Amino acid sequence: MGNHVIIQSNSTIGAVGFGYAFIEGAHRLIPHNGGVIVEDFVEIGANACVDRAKFGNTIIGAGTKIDNLVQIAHNVVIGKCCLIAAQVGVAGSCRLGDGVVLAGQVGLADNIEIGAGTMVGAQAGVMSSVPPGERLAWSPAIDVKEAVRVVAHILRLPKLSQELKRLTAKVEKLEAAKDDQGPG
């Protein structure tokens, strides 16, 4: 435990990770014999959980701030000065570079790397590694500019559906009128 570390109520540091192997027809817990290193000036909110590593250490870098109800799985390495908002889930063996920001309810798949300075918007699901400096949103996570375009298109769908119905009715009316005129 580093200097000037704040850990709020009901948080658990060093719990056994969620690591199982299917052996003889059953899920068996894999031993988690590693530890947790919490560097200087880290703050961990209430009801957070930082699991110990299977081997080596789970590491929370200096100056990182972790909000309430966050899950940091086994063997995760978090860089310096990261911000991790409430209800984020960081799966096993993820690596976060310095200055990463994860907004509320972000989920990271296991064994991925989030490059330094990357910002991930609320409720995004990151399924693969991300280079430094990216801005992501949506689920699965995509570039935030593309996410804005996707949302804009989704919001237009009701109007487009009405327009399609109107045009379909117009085409049907024109075809019926053509059929009424007989062969041309």
Is-contact 65 84, C-beta < 8 A? yes
C-alpha dist (Å) from residue 62 to 4, 106, 161: 10, 21, 52
3-state SS, residue 163 = helix
Give the Cα separation of 76 and 62 in Å (integer).
14
Query: CA 20, 141, 129, 63 torsion: positive or negative?
Result: negative
The owner of tokens 């052996």 is: 23
Q: Among this protein's residues, is 74 annotated catalytic? A: yes
CA 80 → CA 7, 36, 77, 163, distances in Å?
Answer: 17, 15, 10, 52
Among 31, 45, 80, which Cα is nearest to 59's? 80
CA distance 64 to 170: 61
Catalytic residue chosen out of the listed positions 27, 32, 74, 153:
74
**Residues labelled catalytic:** 74
